[in-house]
Amino acid sequence: MLRLFGLVDRAIGAVLRPVLAAGMAALIAVITLQIVSRVAFTAVGWTEEVARFLLVWLTFLGAVLAWQQHRHIAVGVLVDALPERAGRVVSGVALVAGLVFLLALAWIAQDYRALQSFQKSASLRIPMSYVYAVIPISALLMALLALSDLVHLAVTGKRPQPSEPVE
């Protein structure tokens, strides 16, 4: 079971890294087009909207990658000061709380996405449910990663550590 969760964990990271890199490249290209078109030509109207939507998607998917690499901000001073067993218990409680929060977020975000399905974006006229879809997707991915971390903690008795920097 630990091997399966490890595989899923690595697969999420392997998929998200190039997706986020492509998204950042697209964001840079769109913003560059926006600046050049404003200075040299008539402003291209859809660039601001695309940049905003890309930024939203990059933020949420970046949060998933940060979770996968154990890079979210954490104050470990309390957990590190506790005895090993108590530190594992506190880490487990934190992971369970995070898992519950993420599942609730996915549920509420999906309801909100369905509620806003009639709304279209101003310039591109795409359904806003496509933009909002990143919230339940990222919440479910982070919940899966939290479950993976919880299983890792239960099986090995060790708290997940930040992965090596991506080169």
DSSP notation for 72-130: S----HHHHHS-HHHHHHHHHHHHHHHHHHHHHHHHHHHHHHHHTTT-B-TTT--BHHH
Torsion of CA 55, 60, 66, 72, to 10 degrees: 100
Single-letter residue type at 63: A
Q: Is residue 162 part of a domain?
A: no
| pLDDT attached to residue 167 | 36
C-alpha 3/C-alpha 137 separation (Å) is: 23
pLDDT tens for each residue of 25-84? 999 999 999 999 988 888 888 999 999 999 999 999 999 999 999 988 887 788 889 998
Q: Is residue 167 part of a domain?
A: no
Q: Is residue 115 part of a domain?
A: yes
| pLDDT attached to residue 77 | 84
pLDDT tens for each residue of 84-124? 899 899 999 999 999 999 999 999 999 999 988 899 999 99
C-alpha 160/C-alpha 70 separation (Å) is: 7
Q: Is residue 139 part of a domain?
A: yes
| pLDDT attached to residue 157 | 86
| pLDDT attached to residue 1 | 80
Measured from the Cβ of residue 31, the count of other Cβ atoms closer than 10 Å reads: 16
Confidence band of 163 (pLDDT split at 50, 70, 90)? low
Q: Is residue 166 part of a domain?
A: no
Cα-flanking dihedrals φ and ψ of residue 143, to 5°? -65, -40
Q: Is residue 38 part of a domain?
A: yes
Domain with 44 in it: 2-156
The three-class DSSP label of residue 160 is: coil
Task: Name the average pLDDT for the chain.
Answer: 91
* Domains in the chain, number: 1
DSSP H/E element including 146: helix 134-156
Single-letter residue type at 46: W
Q: Which residue has the higher pLDDT, 33 or 164?
A: 33
pLDDT tens for each residue of 121-137? 999 999 999 999 999 99
Q: Is residue 120 part of a domain?
A: yes
The structure's pTM equals 0.90
Q: Is residue 42 part of a domain?
A: yes
